[in-house]
Structure 1
Amino acid sequence: MEFFKIKTSWSNAEFILIKLCMASIYIFIGSYFHDFFKNYYTPLLILFGITVIWFVYEWLKKMKTKNA
């Protein structure tokens, strides 16, 4: 179980690959199940908006404490 205790630091540029990987599977799933998700556009956009604002807030807070 030592594998789960390993700590690494990643730069933002290194996250590009994982972001592209996740975005491509999201687009694939979204295009495959388009009719199913059509009824949930509004709640999904609201959830997306809330999580984006929350993520940016946490990120800015982390950057501020790192620089202080």
Structure 2
Amino acid sequence: MNFFKIKTSWSNAEFIPIKLCMASIYILIGSYFHEFFENYYPILIVIFAVTVIWFVYQWLKKMKSENSSKI
């Protein structure tokens, strides 16, 4: 059995606990290593912006393809 080929569907409500878990650990790490990451803020902001744009583009593309397949 190949673990990485298993397909599941999750609702948005089922993602809430994992999102809260990840957000809390990111805040904890960020507050603990604040001075260390201070030098990397511009790089982190660029990575964040690129990934947000990429995610929104893929999401809109998926929503558009699902809507066009229903018509």
TM-score (norm 1): 0.88
Partner of 1:20: 20
1:56 aligns with 2:38: no
Aligned residues: 68
For residue 29 of structure 1, what is the amino acid of its counterpart?
Answer: I
Q: By how many angstroms is 1:7 displaced?
A: 1.8
Q: Flag the 1:50–1:4 CA change in 2: closer, same or farther, 3 A.
A: closer
4+ residue stretches of structure 1 with deviation over 2 A? Answer: 1-6
Partner of 1:35: 35
TM-score (norm 2): 0.85
Structure 1: runs of 5 or more not aligned: none
Percent identity between the aligned chains? Answer: 76
Alignment RMSD? 1.2
Structure 2: runs of 5 or more not aligned: none
